[in-house]
Structure 1
Amino acid sequence: MLGPVETRSVSPVFVGRTGELDTLHDALARASATGGEPQALLLGGEAGVGKTRLVEEFAAAGRRGAVVALGGCVEIGGDGLPFAPFSTALRALRRRLPDELAGAARGQEEELARLLPELGDSGVPGGGGRPDEEDMARLFELTARLLERVAADRAVVLVLEDLHWADASTRHLIAYLFRTLRTGRLVVLATYRSDDIHRRHPLRPLLAELDRLRTVRRLQLGRFTRDEAGRQIAGILAREPDPLQIDEIFARSDGNAFFVEELAVAAHEGSRTGLTDSLRDLLLVRVEALPESAQRVARIVAEGGSTVEHRLLAAVAGLGEDDLIEALRAAVNAHILLPAPDGDGYRFRHSLVREAVGDDLLPGERSRLNRRYAEALDADPTLVPAADRVLRLASHWYHAHDPAKALPAVLDASVEARRRHAYSEQLRLLERAMELWDAAPDDVRAGLRPVDRAEVHPLPRPERREGPPGGRDPATTPPRYLDLMAEAAVAGRLCGERERAMKITKRALRLLEGEPEAGADAAGRDSRRAAWFWTQRSLLVQAQGRGDGWRELGIAQELVRGLPPSEVHAEVLAMAANWSMLHSPGPGAVTAAERAVEYARMVGAEEIELNARLTLGGLMVDAGHIEAGLAEMFRVREVVVAQPRSAVVARSHVNLSSSLEGVGRSEDALGILREGIELTRRMGLLESEAWVWGNIADSLVSLGRWDEAVEAADRAGAPGRGPAPRGDAALQRAVVGLARGERT
């Protein structure tokens, strides 16, 4: 549409990088070979050094024998969209291999739709359900298996660019894949900007972790030598440059490929005297040479994110179609902007230029552009992909500094992040909501989407319509500040930000102590809310190794004592009973478990009821009521097998098998455990599967089947498992070694 370019700033000659390119081709050859294994590579280098050009060269050569899928981390308003590179890459695979991808995802479409919404019937990620620690692990496991299946019969290259912009969920998924991919003709290549990785950059711990994996190769692109810079300049100018010109450009660019291009073009166009040694001036000089309309469009694109769709750009720019095309033509011909790979929008040719243009915006200009983006998305939701709209809208309203619009948009985005199991991004969004809370008008807070429970719990699930104590209609009950804190505490615990979650729970408890609601019913609600936060503190204390969590559970029990049955009350009792089963079983634990079952039934909390019944059954077995206790646990198992529930499925099989093992029924335990392996694997419950394998090893040791026990322990402690099951697996191997007389 925009026609051929008028000048050439990118050298048609690929310069240098022979060693790095050989390494990439070797990785592809290893993966493509019969019986080959997945290959993982990290490609780092400073901004402008030529990472993208190397990837393009590798991908062009690789297409002869492989399917190449590219995905990039998307930065918008300083935020990264959850799982953006994986969504883009999977979408490319779906276009290239529609039948293969559909077959690989069969049976898990709803869960995988969190990464690729097109797999779901509704076109949006599956929602609902109470979040738990297994949700993200299940999504990661299913993603790994999907990629292995797609790459089973053909070479697939998955390129993930710009990890320095990656959201936390993307970083976690990359770490998981690099640790666990074991089959398939797959190459995963991730790039990042090394000069952005300062001491506190969130990517630094991931790089350190991946460096310790023997299966990961890390490449670092250096700057060009003088000879390489000379060949690059010759390609740009289509002639041999003057040696003095090479010396000057090389000295000023210091061998950075992008700066070589900019300086060579500037010299060719006769504007050398207008350049300064300032990097910002160097990056902006050619932008400022554009017509005013093209400069305006460039500023709009700079604030719109890594890529801006054409229709969205047209809506924000407010130019006539012909004027917009002419402005875009000027920016593209000057190599400032490029059409997006899918042909539906525009991006800066280099992110450094985008950053320079963005930094040159005035504060009021930046907020005004964000407002126009947000208003355009509000007016026409079809301007961007449905899966991205809510998150992008929240970012634009937030950076427009409009609390009345930003607060509901940020809350909607937090729900979307939770649906995708992107708990780190959910936590960041909820913290923004808490920041905006007091600044938003009262009528905006009152009109927010309602909570669906009287108890503190994550934000609304519209399908739930439980009536709260006191007869209030939940459909008219807006969320309170404490509800945001509760949601943030859960998100922080699930994403591993336990210290932040602990601070939030402490603040919430201080608020509850200092500002109780009026009236008896309100006081009861405050007690239940406080009890809920104390249960979270118990979990966090245990996870951080700061105690056993019993003090916190004791306070929660006191807070709900004497109150009418509620879900919080049932959960407190169930947690206390389970703690006692593990640490101090006895009559008091049995009583707590029985009351938890009773209360959970009264309020319709089925998952809490099932967990409490498992605890009750285990306590009955410990107390000598073996057959009655086992019968109760078998009944729970039957419910779970008929209607698999991720929060109960593993515990039903692990606890039941442990009780069977404890009474000497090792063969029966093995049968239950093999069923547990099938269920946890089908549901992608990686951590739970590890615990099941650990119990299998335990029963096999009891039966004297030592070789099989070691094999099961190895499966329990396989790469990608958590530290606890890995430690248990090491103990099982040691037990077998001692039984065999191996003392070292």
Structure 2
Amino acid sequence: MATAYASAQFPAAGGSFIGRAAERAQLTGLLTEAAGGAAATVFVAGEAGVGKSRLLQEFATEARSAGRTVLHGACINLGTGALPYAPLIDALRRIVRERGEQRVRELGGPSYAELSRLVSDFTGVAPLGESTAQLRVFGAVLRMLDHFGAHAPTVLIFEDLHWADPSTLDLISYLARAQTDERILLVHSYRSNDLDRRHPLRTLLAEPDFIRRIHRLELARFTRAELERFLTASTGGSVDRPLLDRYYELSDGNAFFAEELVVSGVLTDPASTRLPNSLSEIMLSRVELLDDAAADVLRAAAAAGRRVSHRLLAAVCDLPDQQLIKALRQCVAQHVLTIDAADDTYVFRHALLREAVYQELLPGERVGLHRALATALTADPGFSLAEDLTAAAELAYHWYEARALPEALTAAVRAGEMAVRVHAFREAEQHYQRVLSLWSRVDDPQRRTGQPHWRVLAAAADTARWGGRVEQALELIRAAIAEVDRAAIAEVDRAAAPRYAGELLERLGNYLWEAGEYGDSQQTYRAAARALAGQPPSAVSARVLAAVAMAEVREGRYAEGAREGAHAVEMARAVPARAEEGRALNTLGMALTMLDQPSDGMAKVREALRIAEEVDHLEDLFRAYGNLAVALEHVGRLTDSVQVALTGLKVARERGLEQARGAGVLANNAAATLVLLGRWDEAAAVLDDVLRARPLRGTLYPRLTLAEIRLAQGSFDAAADLLADVQLVDRPTTDPRFVGPLYACLAELALWRDDRAGADDAVRAGLAALDGQANILELTRMYAVGLRAAADECEVLRTQPERDPVRLSAVVAYAERLADQAQADQAQADQAQADQAGVSQVRVLRDLCLAELARARGTADPDAWAAVARGWSMLGRSYPAGYAYWREAETALDAGDLARAGSAARSAWQTTEPLPAGPLRTEIEAMARRARIPLDPELPEPADDTAGPAARPFGLTARELEVLCLLCLGRTNREIATELFITERTAGVHVSNLLKKMAANNRNAAASMAHRLRLCTDRDSG
């Protein structure tokens, strides 16, 4: 038992604020910047008792005095019974009490009302689950804060994040990433000594993408000088040096410890015979001064939490009203409780004090208090300070701590349902996990909860999925399916088992798709359809049929997709199931568009878009915008396609859903089409905006598209950084539409950097990743890049002074194997049912493979390259068309056809002129300069890149190397003679000699060799 120390006869240091000048200045500076439209987030860290709360109280007071709006809330410690959005609800409740409901509605704007509905509407059935659900809450918070900020700069303070519920941490992460020019400052505090390495806040604070968006402020302990000022303010007089040393020695500069030493009087009371062993002992010594009734009231308050209402204490404590009031007066007088005038509650003066009192409770005493609290809250939920949402979690916590397992089971189910209704999915999953852990420990749990065990498993799976834990969701839903299968085998509810199985298989298909297991997902949808065959029409059946139709479309079987989609629409209308009807129409419309029925197809997609707006299902809304954009691009209406995708993005921004997966897809669609239109800078701007607002895992496709743009622009380092970011993600996806472009981009980057080994490695890795995939487009693209890398190496091998015929033969053989594999894969593909745009691209890529193979063999054909260029031009792909024209010009030069080379070179130049394609255009210019081909009469002379000291390969003499470098500039024999002050005949002899030594067929071939080997890179041409 703690020793009782006499209380000091002077007040605690509550009226003076000592030190922290630098920290206050930093917070004030950030608020000043926020007032100017530079929103910011700052984390205040420090050990328990160091003064974080006092600093933020002082800052909040100063901000209010300056006319700023302050919303201030704190997290609550309920162990694993987390209260969803606890600090947000606390902050909103406080400002409503401070300013009145009507005024807060005016300040918060429409989003305050929306947020109130999302967080406080607990009637009716749970909302349709979708991945955007929680983001809608977050978006409403940001828009509400923005509206507050429009009236006055606004500060949102969340304290004690070491106790934060998962949804609050997700909200904080969202706000830090999404804020831009709002007039808001977000300030969050946490105990740095309470974060172990697995704490989710520690994980968040370690994310590189998050760290660069926030400010950090670490509170240190008092220095000796600051402690002296603190003690002087506390005692009202000076403190002699020996006593100061004792205070500093015992408190070690911790502000709260020092204050407790002052208040307890342990160092100044002559009656004190020994020193306390710990801060906890000092705090509990204050409790020992209370009489029995006051101590009992304090213990009840500690079991209730840091903040408790008078009504709840009255219900739990077996005391007459006057005796209860007397007991509470003692607690306040001894500085263990304070009164919060904002909501007329009793609050422990410090969280550490509440923890100390709670830890001193005897096991039986603790159980009894929690049972009393749970009984009181069950009888009258109004005793709770919380809204219905947090009251449910609070009740589940107390029943569990009371070891009343049947009641805890029922309360946990209720808490899980309430958390789902406000999209606090991670808290809901925690509650359902508790239900599952209690299930076998309670008699007849199905009767108590009103649902079978597999339903609880399925509910837990849904919350895990919506909370972003797909692997856990897969494990839970598979367990639910296994239970239904066992029930069917045991003939328990056998008639309903197929319907249950179909419902669960549909969910499993969704989870598998989100996990990137596309093949398994599509097979699971088909299994769900088989399970539901013969069942009465239902929304689940309609969803399953729509999912099967989508699987057919994704695999390029559009006729089957249209048939299944039409069936799904018919069933959804028969139910009726409006959301499912819209989803089916969306897929049916895409199938019809790809079957060359674009008018009917796009009309159905537009109808699906209207339905998604009507039922307010944002996942389906974004999917409809995305599909409509793809359909418009498919029929060549590129500008309209971009406009539709950007409209969808605008809707996402208006609803605060920039971080939703659908928004990322829309941005990627818009950017890809802008690239086709030659508007690369606009495309990059769209993607940069998305990358700013979303975490790494949610931006894989946009990062890859931006990397492709940066690569083509010649920003190789930027492209490499983006590709490295993408590769950091653990198991990103197996989608061939991602894997193929990723490795193709890695290979092309290596080629532009003359890293042929790196290119070869990327191609091999890409082909391995695509092995077994049915996407012939991405496979053929990868083969083409591989053949390009092989052809480049073969050209270098043929032009090296030290010939390596063995290596050359090996590379040619490898190229031939690649071409054979490409041909075999193309033969297996069902071209008739593949994407029509894809078919056209595959055909061009097939021609590209053959052209690169001929280049590798040394038999390059300008006609082959011309065919490739025409194919890309017909598809509106300017960049690859420019590449093909360049190769045609080079091949024509090597064949001595200068007229054709000039025509192809000019086509390459004109095709790429609207594009900032630096590396490709540099190659085109260099080739034209070597061949003396005029690209544009108004084009300024490019800088010479044809000179440089080099070792003399091929046995060339110094004079022959000079002649070769002039050949690279397109000089004639007469011009060479003039520049070198030799006769024209001598110049001709030098040219003949170097052609023989280099085994070059003609002057252009020799110049091409010199260019590829960079023999004249820095030589001054004079």
TM-score category, normalised to shorter length: 0.7 to 0.9
SS at match of 1:10: coil
Aligned positions of 1:277-288 closer than 5 A: 277-288=277-288
- C-alpha distance in structure 1 between counterparts of 2:118 and 2:23, whole Å: 31
> If the length of structure 1 is used for normalisation, what is the TM-score?
0.87
* Alpha-carbon distance change, 728 to 578 in structure 1, aligned in 2, over 3 angstroms: farther
> Displacement, 1:430?
1.0
* Alpha-carbon distance change, 667 to 641 in structure 1, aligned in 2, over 3 angstroms: farther
Which residues of structure 1 form unaligned runs of 5+?
449-477
* Alpha-carbon distance change, 68 to 107 in structure 1, aligned in 2, over 3 angstroms: closer
SS at match of 1:332: helix
The 10-residue stretch of structure 1 (208-217 or 613-622) with the greater mean CA deviation from structure 2: 208-217
> Displacement, 1:642?
5.2
Instruction: State the Cα RMSD in Å.
Output: 2.8
CA offset digits 1:556-583 (Å, max 9, x no partner):
3443345444433332222222123223
> Displacement, 1:215?
3.6
Tell me what 1:336 maps to.
Answer: 336
The 10-residue stretch of structure 1 (158-167 or 308-317) with the greater mean CA deviation from structure 2: 308-317
The 10-residue stretch of structure 1 (209-218 or 138-147) with the greater mean CA deviation from structure 2: 209-218
- C-alpha distance in structure 2 between counterparts of 1:712 and 1:97, whole Å: 41
Q: Indicate yes or no: 2:701 matched with 1:730.
A: no
Q: Indicate yes or no: 2:28 matched with 1:52.
A: no
Match of 2:18 among 10, 15, 18: 15
> Displacement, 1:191?
0.3
Match of 1:391 among 393, 402, 406: 393
Tell me what 1:61 maps to.
Answer: 62
Match of 1:533 among 484, 504, 523: 504
* Alpha-carbon distance change, 200 to 671 in structure 1, aligned in 2, over 3 angstroms: closer
Tell me what 1:664 maps to.
Answer: 636
Match of 1:719 among 676, 693, 697: 693
- Greater share of helix: 2
Matched residue type, 1:51 = K
- C-alpha distance in structure 2 between counterparts of 1:325 and 1:97, whole Å: 29
Match of 1:27 among 17, 27, 30: 30
Aligned positions of 1:422-571 closer than 5 A: 422-442=424-444, 445-446=446-447, 448=449, 478-516=450-488, 519=491, 522-545=493-516, 548=519, 549-571=521-543
Q: Indicate yes or no: 2:665 matched with 1:691.
A: yes
The 10-residue stretch of structure 1 (724-733 or 283-292) with the greater mean CA deviation from structure 2: 724-733
SS at match of 2:618: coil
* Alpha-carbon distance change, 273 to 494 in structure 1, aligned in 2, over 3 angstroms: farther
- C-alpha distance in structure 2 between counterparts of 1:541 and 1:613, whole Å: 23
Alignment size in residue pairs: 702
The 10-residue stretch of structure 1 (311-320 or 387-396) with the greater mean CA deviation from structure 2: 387-396
Contact 1:76 1:304 (8 Å CA) reproduced:
no
Q: Indicate yes or no: 2:224 matched with 1:226.
A: yes
Q: Indicate yes or no: 2:581 matched with 1:609.
A: yes
SS at match of 1:273: coil
Contact 1:309 1:344 (8 Å CA) reproduced:
yes
SS at match of 1:416: helix
- C-alpha distance in structure 2 between counterparts of 1:115 and 1:573, whole Å: 31
SS at match of 2:150: coil
CA offset digits 1:245-299 (Å, max 9, x no partner):
2222322222211111222333244564354324443332222222111211111
Aligned positions of 1:264-279 closer than 5 A: 264-266=262-264, 267=266, 268-270=268-270, 272-279=272-279
> Displacement, 1:732?
7.1
Contact 2:157 2:186 (8 Å CA) reproduced:
yes
The 10-residue stretch of structure 1 (423-432 or 177-186) with the greater mean CA deviation from structure 2: 177-186
- C-alpha distance in structure 1 between counterparts of 2:309 and 2:637, whole Å: 63
Matched residue type, 2:608 = V
Contact 2:257 2:279 (8 Å CA) reproduced:
no
- C-alpha distance in structure 1 between counterparts of 2:535 and 2:614, whole Å: 34
Matched residue type, 1:700 = L
- C-alpha distance in structure 2 between counterparts of 1:575 and 1:371, whole Å: 48
Tell me what 1:462 maps to.
Answer: none
- C-alpha distance in structure 2 between counterparts of 1:586 and 1:718, whole Å: 36
Identity %: 34
SS at match of 2:496: helix
Tell me what 2:597 maps to.
Answer: 625
Tell me what 1:326 maps to.
Answer: 326
- C-alpha distance in structure 2 between counterparts of 1:664 and 1:12, whole Å: 72
- C-alpha distance in structure 1 between counterparts of 2:687 and 2:302, whole Å: 53
Contact 2:109 2:147 (8 Å CA) reproduced:
no
Matched residue type, 1:193 = R
- C-alpha distance in structure 2 between counterparts of 1:350 and 1:287, whole Å: 14
Contact 1:7 1:334 (8 Å CA) reproduced:
no
> If the length of structure 2 is used for normalisation, what is the TM-score?
0.65
CA offset digits 1:637-692 (Å, max 9, x no partner):
34345554324211122111211111112243345445534544444443234433
> Displacement, 1:618?
0.6
SS at match of 1:347: strand
The 10-residue stretch of structure 1 (108-117 or 282-291) with the greater mean CA deviation from structure 2: 108-117
CA offset digits 1:596-639 (Å, max 9, x no partner):
32333333232122111211111122122333322322332343
* Alpha-carbon distance change, 62 to 679 in structure 1, aligned in 2, over 3 angstroms: closer
CA offset digits 1:505-544 (Å, max 9, x no partner):
2322332333437559x33532333343334333334434
* Alpha-carbon distance change, 271 to 601 in structure 1, aligned in 2, over 3 angstroms: farther
> Displacement, 1:588?
3.2
Q: Indicate yes or no: 2:18 matched with 1:42.
A: no
- C-alpha distance in structure 2 between counterparts of 1:102 and 1:650, whole Å: 30
SS at match of 1:276: coil
- C-alpha distance in structure 2 between counterparts of 1:375 and 1:419, whole Å: 25
- C-alpha distance in structure 2 between counterparts of 1:26 and 1:664, whole Å: 52
Q: Which structure has the bigger radius of gyration?
A: 2
Matched residue type, 2:699 = P
- C-alpha distance in structure 1 between counterparts of 2:228 and 2:85, whole Å: 40
- C-alpha distance in structure 1 between counterparts of 2:681 and 2:134, whole Å: 33
- C-alpha distance in structure 1 between counterparts of 2:15 and 2:655, whole Å: 49
- C-alpha distance in structure 2 between counterparts of 1:621 and 1:726, whole Å: 25
> Displacement, 1:414?
1.4
Matched residue type, 2:546 = A
Aligned positions of 1:106-505 closer than 5 A: 106-108=109-111, 111-113=114-116, 117=120, 128-209=126-207, 212-266=210-264, 267=266, 268-270=268-270, 272-340=272-340, 342-384=342-384, 385-387=386-388, 388-442=390-444, 445-446=446-447, 448=449, 478-505=450-477
* Alpha-carbon distance change, 580 to 356 in structure 1, aligned in 2, over 3 angstroms: same
* Alpha-carbon distance change, 222 to 211 in structure 1, aligned in 2, over 3 angstroms: farther
Contact 2:630 2:641 (8 Å CA) reproduced:
yes
> Displacement, 1:17?
1.6
Matched residue type, 2:685 = E
SS at match of 1:247: helix
> Displacement, 1:419?
1.3
CA offset digits 1:186-230 (Å, max 9, x no partner):
211100011100111121112223784434110111112223223
- C-alpha distance in structure 2 between counterparts of 1:86 and 1:191, whole Å: 14
SS at match of 1:631: helix
SS at match of 1:405: helix
> Displacement, 1:64?
2.1
> Displacement, 1:734?
4.0
The 10-residue stretch of structure 1 (689-698 or 492-501) with the greater mean CA deviation from structure 2: 689-698
Contact 1:524 1:563 (8 Å CA) reproduced:
no
Contact 1:15 1:232 (8 Å CA) reproduced:
yes
Contact 1:11 1:235 (8 Å CA) reproduced:
no
Contact 1:374 1:393 (8 Å CA) reproduced:
yes
SS at match of 2:133: helix
Contact 1:105 1:112 (8 Å CA) reproduced:
no
Which residues of structure 2 form unaligned runs of 5+?
1-7, 714-878, 880-914, 921-1022
Contact 2:416 2:428 (8 Å CA) reproduced:
yes
CA offset digits 1:428-475 (Å, max 9, x no partner):
111112222333343x74254xxxxxxxxxxxxxxxxxxxxxxxxxxx
SS at match of 1:152: helix
